[in-house]
Structure 1
Amino acid sequence: MKRKSFREAECPVARALDAIGDWWSLLIVRDAFDGLRRFSEIQQNLGIAKGMLASRLQEFVKLGILELVPASDGSAYKEYVLTEKGRGLFLVIVALRQWGEAHLYREGEQRSWLIDVERRRPVARLQLRAFDGRSLDWPDTLVSKTI
């Protein structure tokens, strides 16, 4: 079955999923945030097939999520770095992480933590805020075609 493209969908969630909607893609972005920059590092960390990784990286470069730059060590290699557009996915990764922490671990089960570098403490849970700073939840929102 051929995958349906949502590239031109009216819904921004559908468009976002079209760009980054499979688990490999989000794990590649996670690895980029964790400082992995070379094809071989990402491939080894994820255990993903080289061809699949190459196609995902190529698509991320095409979408402007990653860019290829000369290797930081001065070698002939190239490295993948997040663009501003790619760095914009940080809150998406944090939201998925926090949802997983809250719902997919048993009490006391070993896990990794996202830590505030300055205070050396786990980061607070993300919260959706209204324009005036009020905390919002799902019932407090609606989707509108116009503002």
Structure 2
Amino acid sequence: MGKATRTKWTDELDARLLSLWEANCTVKDITVELGKSEQSVQTRASRRGFGKRNARDVIGVMSDGTVYWSEAEIDLLMDMRIKGASHKEMAAHFGRTKNAIHALFGKIEREGRPTVSPKKMIPCMCCGVQFGSEGWHNKQCEPCFRYNTSIDV
């Protein structure tokens, strides 16, 4: 079996690599387009200073089957979490699996982005309005809590 022939990088290949890189194409897609190995593509992009790509800018399904989350989807997911939606409810809303939801929250936490703990919706013990409780200690909605703490005893 013979060795694969190597082709030198040209200005045209560099320009095409840059356009594909900025379009957030997968490395696998770029290798097919340019006829280069994955290692060659990644090394060339790194040496040219193309930098990291934000896969979240890509909305939809990539050719390798990866489905990326858009920032708008993440924001909506965080809103649903604040309102106390379960992973099952979120998965159904976005057409994803519960594991995908769980994995995304893990990734967000590892990135150091602020996360919000899920809040259970309960009735306020004073006015009865449903609100997102922060835990066993939180039984009053914010307006009732502020009112009750402002009263002089």
| TM-score, L = length of structure 2 | 0.32
Structure having the higher helix fraction is 2
Query: Greater share of strand residues, 1 or 2?
Result: 1
Q: Under a length normalisation based on structure 1, what TM-score does the superposition of the two structures give?
A: 0.33
Select the structure of larger CA radius of gyration.
2
